[in-house]
Amino acid sequence: MKIIVCIKQVPDATEVRLNPETNTLTREGVAAIMNPYDQHALEEAVRLREKLGGGEVIALTMGPPQAEGMLRDAVALGADRVVLVSDRAFAGSDTWATSYTLEHAVNALGGADLILCGKQAIDGDTGQVGPGMATRLGIPFITCVQKVREVDESRLVVERMMDDGYDVLAVKLPALLTVVKNINEPRVPSLKGKMKAKKVQIEQLNAETISAKADCIGLPGSPTQVAKVFAPEARGKRIELQGTLEEQLAQLAVKLVELARGQEVR
């Protein structure tokens, strides 16, 4: 089975800053990590390959040259091949342009039996790219997968997480899945994997090699326009309790009584 895993390099959530002029995230000087949901997608791809007794796992990312480090991490975690889709023309892509670019990249790689993505990226939180890719590729997709129950070369049976439980769904391959964090626990890179990562050849694709149209990528191909980005103003009052746990609980009880009586908490 040929499995393509779409991974994304995102800013560390503890260091996110916004550029008020461009209304985009400031990435320069900010530590970058693999999107946490994508780590689980990669782990699941490796587990499926192991369960089937063979196959190929390809980690695919769209991003700047600096994303090569993340791709090497993907090899250390079990990916067989890694592909970087990078071009200045991709800068500023929204989810529509990103799904277009990745769909063209998948086709340039000869397609896949299964495509895995994280549920969403922690920098955008839209959850749109995976379904957008599947729609463009003309294949079925299932979002928020929390478990793969059955797998063979032509079919998958999965559990899709819902607010009040889960659905059990069967899907014929090729297909695309987006996964949630509780699907697995990502492994720790092995020494053998780290050594392989140092030597791996990172495949390069750009706008020309994937036959992307100039008016469908980057800012020109992005119909979404961000009108304004701002940090919300703090609302309400914050009270810090001091002392031992018992003392803090006693203080909290007093504050709750005051609130119940309509008194201002100080």
- pLDDT, tens only, 152-165: 999 999 999 999 99
Q: Is the peptide bond before 174 cis (omega within 30 degrees of 0)?
A: yes
Q: Give residue 260's pLDDT.
A: 84
Indicate the pLDDT class of residue 264, thresholds 50, 70 and 90: low
What's the mean pLDDT in 145-151?
96
Q: pLDDT higher for 9 or 22?
A: 9
| Enclosing H/E stretch for 248 | helix 245-260
Cα distance between residue 184 and residue 161, in whole Å: 14
DSSP SS3 for 70 = helix
Phi, psi for residue 123 in degrees, rounded to 5:
-90, -30
Give the span between the Cα atoms of 232 and 109, in whole angstroms.
43
Name the CATH code of domain 2-216 (choices 3.40.50.620, 3.40.50.300, 3.40.630.30, 3.10.50.40): 3.40.50.620
State the pLDDT at residue 226: 75
pLDDT tier for residue 211 given thresholds of 50, 70 and 90: very high
**Of the given ranges (10-14, 33-37, 227-231), which has the lowest mean pLDDT?**
227-231
One-letter amino acid of 29: G
The overall longest dimension of the chain from CA atoms, in Å, is: 69
* pLDDT tens for each residue of 75-95: 999 999 999 999 999 998 999
Q: Would the pLDDT of 17 be above 70? A: no
Q: Which residues contact 202 (CB under 8 A, 6 or more apart)?
A: 68, 71, 72, 82, 83, 84
Burial level of 107, CB count in 10 A (0-12/13-18/19+)? Answer: middle
- Looking at the whole model, is its pTM more than 0.85? no
CB 57 within 8 A of CB 64: no
Q: What is the pLDDT of residue 176?
A: 98
pLDDT digits 0-9 by tens, 224-244: 877 776 667 777 777 889 999
Ramachandran angles phi, psi of 160, nearest 5°: -105, 125
- In order of 90, 107, 138, 141, 217, the CA distances from 95 in angstroms are 12, 18, 17, 17, 10
